[in-house]
Amino acid sequence: MVTGGGSGGHITPVLAVAHELKKIRPDIEIDYIGQTGDSLLDVPAQDKNIDHLYTVRAGKFRRYHGEGLRQLLDVKTMYLNVRDVFFVLTGVWQSFKLLGTLRPDVIFTRGSFVSVPVCLAAKLRGIPYITHDSDAIPSLANRIIAPWARVHAVALPKDVYPSYPPEKTVTVGVPISSDFHPLTPKEVATGRAQLHLTEADQVLLITGGGLGAQRVNHAAIACVPELLKRYPGLEVVHIAGRKEEAGVRQQYRQALPPKDQKRVNVKGFISNMHQYSGVADVIVTRAGGTSMAEFAAQGKACVVVPAPHLTGGHQLKNAKVLADRKAVRLVSESTLQEDPHALMPPLTDLFDHPEKIAMLGKKLALLAQPNATHQLAMVLLEIADGEPVGAKS
């Protein structure tokens, strides 16, 4: 059984592991538990490696990096947090009944909100589960369920996670789909034709994740018209997030002349990110652990805008690690807030100097961990088969 949801970064690693499990052992049954009301539930529902999909209630504890006590005194935040306590309790009961019927051999979670009720119920049922952290700072959900986890799978060396017992922690990297790999020039040309980007000399991909990122969207809308004027052969693919898609598309219509509108392809959420990122020359992205692992596997030049208010500032830490290794160009969200055109200098520098694009991609590729998904799948199978972790590795 696998569980996740809430964002693309919590779903795609789970589905990558499901795919690898089916490849290793085709007769295995994989059930998915998602969160009731999750706007991205259609993604696992349409995945051929998921045999059955179920949902349970889940809650969220709202706190934002750098906000301090102010967030705890906000009436709306307090109300939502108290309400969600009851959602979690409901989810535990729903999960307890569901697990009693399904009796999975092992549960895998990436650490989203829904993992809390599912794994607490698993503890009550005596069903083993393992957690995974893609970021340098463990998620709150994983920290809550950590005491009873059989194994903590992590992306970075064990000493980065002092809250996890070393004897229960295994470094595997970030599980990603095998679809993320470097493309030859011929494959890039073929991919662009399939995506109707055949007129493009250069492709810029902008993505704020499956739920979108308003600050990134606003900065892109401010900069893209200038970029299209400066680079006649440039085409832009903008993944705006489902809730932002219509508004972003309308703003481009207002900002661009008709001849340039066809050079900007706005989408809400895509399940074939590997195709778009594979043919892109430069990617503007957040700094989530999963996304960066995917782009590292493809050796892509990235301009990174980390989300500053996420739990513990984990994207800030992710981005700093990459920037310190000169593997990305870093633009802070506060800089974008002051000047939406702050994306222009790094983008023009890269597009003016293709050799810099190649070098940036090579440096990020050095951090790729291509065997992470297989290692994680083997850990799950070892636990399911009742063997010591590492016995088959």
User: Taking the chain (393 residues) in consecutive chunks of 10 residues, what is each chunk's mean pLDDT?
Assistant: 80 93 96 91 94 91 54 65 81 97 96 92 97 86 94 88 93 92 94 90 88 83 97 96 92 95 93 95 93 95 87 77 93 92 98 98 93 94 88 55
User: Could you tell me which of 103, 155, 95, 90 has the C-alpha nearest to residue 119?
Assistant: 95
Side by side, which strands form the sheet with 329-330?
264-267, 234-239, 202-207, 282-285, 301-304, 329-330
Task: Label residue 389 exposed, middle or buried (CB < 10 Å: 0-12, 13-18, 19+).
Answer: middle
In whole angstroms, give the CA distance from residue 94 to residue 118: 9
- Could you tell me the pTM of the whole model? 0.81
Confidence at residue 261, expressed as pLDDT on a 0 to 100 scale: 94
User: Domain 2-175+370-384 has what CATH class?
Assistant: alpha beta
Same fold for the domain at 2-175+370-384 and the one at 185-365? yes
* 3-state SS assignment for residue 310: coil
Q: Which residue has the tokens 């693919």?
A: 237
Name 169's bridge partners. Answer: 152
User: Could you tell me which of 141, 144, 124, 152 has the C-alpha nearest to residue 60?
Assistant: 141
User: Domain 185-365 has what CATH class?
Assistant: alpha beta
* 3-state SS assignment for residue 202: strand
Sequence ranges of the domains in the chain: 2-175+370-384, 185-365
Strand locations in 222-281 (E)? 234-239, 264-267
- 3-state SS record for 102-167: HCCCCEEECCCCCHHHHHHHHHHHCCCEEEEECCCCCCHHHHHHHHHCCEEEECCCHHHCCCCCHH
User: Could you tell me which of 205, 334, 208, 229 has the C-alpha nearest to residue 281?
Assistant: 205
Q: Which residue has the tokens 């898609």?
A: 245
- Residue 177: partners with Cβ closer than 8 Å, 6 or more residues away: 12, 15, 16, 19, 274, 294, 373
- Residue 99: partners with Cβ closer than 8 Å, 6 or more residues away: 118, 121, 122, 125, 127
Q: Which two tokens stand for residue 86?
A: 């009851």
Q: Which two tokens stand for residue 146?
A: 């950590």
Confidence at residue 212, expressed as pLDDT on a 0 to 100 scale: 53
